[in-house]
Amino acid sequence: MFGYDSMTTPMDGRARALIPVTLLTGFLGSGKTTVLNALVQRPEMARTLVVINEFGQIGLDHMLVAHSTEDILVEMDSGCLCCTIRGDLVRTLRDAVWRFSREGVRQFDRLVIETTGLSDPAPILHTLMTDRFIAARYRLDGVVCTVDLANGDATLDAHPEALKQVAVADSLLLTKEDIADPALQLATRERLRRLNPTARQWHVPQGVVDPTAVLGLGLFDVNAKVPDVARWLRLEVFQDHHEHGHEHGHEGGDAHHHHHDVNRHDDHIRAHCFSVSDPIDPAALDEWLDMMRAFMGPRMLRLKAVLNLRGEDVPVVLHGVQHILHPPARLPAWPDGQRLSHLVFITQDIDRALIKGSLNELMRAVPAAAPPETNRPASALQAGAPARAPDG
């Protein structure tokens, strides 16, 4: 079922060599290209390959970024590298390592993919997580989504794709503040918090963006001496909703729903956080993850987890998008000194009580005896590769 041979250790030399990928998404007209035009001028973007994942004719605004209508390497004044993509994204990422090299030396250190405004970002994330060649060379650094404050509220009402773009993001870039009604801005920002409380919101006037809003969003920043678990999980956004016991949760801002139309379809999207103090049995966890993926499927928009597993001296990290789990990874140490498991889910049409109940069952579970090795399928935690998509 699974394709990887062993659990990875992201902080070792191999992981440090993986090329970080930032996915820049956002609905049509939300300002992605304006942001990208400003971003590539920054010195922090030197030696960055920018992939514009468009379909059909390349728009004129993208000419400002690519400086060419040809599918060729272009070196920009900032030292940034750009190309326009007309073929398959998988083939492009596979070829980029040698195609954008000179005398056998790769000419880029990071990758930014700008998606088409109508796209669901999940398939690109799946590609990064499931293609063996790509997963061996690239790592997801973060998902960044532009949101138009003047029209974003109406866009979220009309287009489910825009909802998914916001829901899976690590960072939200708020554009067109100068032309947006102040009351509408506040309402849109609050709506974004309900949809995705774990994503930081950044104002980007005229597309000018602080590179820290875009780069280094992942847990494994090669320049950091200690992995920033708190920044990655953003547990502080759930603290006001703490419950007694060893887990807490947040229902996407239910305290504000008396001002909100409960028939709007983004009310189906929720963020849930659970913290567990007791060590988790790896075999039971593996079965639980299989069950949760089969049950939630694409309704599990995103999962982030740092886990205290029985028999492990260091934390194990899980990251999932829909039914796909990235290969699990070990951190070198517990950054905060507390051996707690933290799981953050962003889901669609999933009752938090169901997750909580199944998690409680997991903690009470006594794993069955393992079948003989010859007949035993590779487990998610041992093998670390994504499972098949659930049938149907």
CA–CA separation, 169 vs 123, rounded Å?
14
316 pLDDT exceeds 60? Answer: yes
Q: How far is CA 349 from CA 135, 271, 291, 352, in A?
A: 30, 11, 17, 9
Residue 172 and residue 71 share a domain: yes
Q: What is the pLDDT of residue 66?
A: 41
Asked if residue 76 and residue 24 are part of one domain, the reply reads: yes
Residue 4 within any structural domain of the chain: no
pLDDT of 14 > 60? The answer is no
Mean pLDDT of 20-31: 92
At 94-129, the pLDDT tens digits run: 888 888 888 888 888 989 988 878 778 888 888 888
Whether 30 and 158 map to the same domain: the answer is yes
Q: Is the pLDDT of residue 11 over 70?
A: no
pLDDT (average), residues 39-48: 86
191 plus 294 within the same structural domain: no
SS3 167: helix
Domain at 289, CATH number:
3.30.1220.10
Instruction: State which of 166, 186, 213 marks the end of a domain.
Output: 213
Tell me the three state secondary structure of residue 329.
strand
Q: 185 is in which domain, residue-wise? A: 13-213
The verdict on 162 and 240 lying in the same domain is no
- CA torsion sign, 226 to 333 to 15 to 23? negative
Is 156 in the same domain as 277?
no
At 327, which amino acid appears? P
Residues in the chain, overall count: 392
Q: Does any domain span residue 1? A: no
Strand pairing of 48-53 and 81-85?
A: parallel
Q: Are 265 and 122 within one domain?
A: no
Q: Quick one: CA torsion of 65, 175, 169, 333, rounded to 10 degrees?
A: 90
pLDDT at position 381 over 80: no
- Look at residue 221 and tell me if it is in a domain: no
Q: Which residue has the higher pLDDT, 69 or 312?
A: 312
Give the per-residue pLDDT at 266: 64
**What are the residue ranges of helices labelled H in 174-298?**
182-195, 229-233, 282-296
- Looking at the structure, do residues 301 and 155 belong to the same domain, yes or no? no
- Cα–Cα distance for residue pair 126/322, rounded to 1 Å: 9
* Per-residue model confidence as pLDDT tens digits over 218-241: 876 555 555 677 778 888 888 754
31 and 146 assigned to the same domain? yes
Minimum mean pLDDT among 85-89, 141-145, 161-165, 201-205: which range?
Answer: 85-89
Asked if the structure places residue 170 within a domain, the reply is yes
The residues with which 102 forms a beta bridge, in sequence order, are 105
Q: Is residue 227 part of a domain?
A: no
Residue where a domain terminates, one of 151, 184, 213 = 213
User: Total domain count for the chain?
Assistant: 2
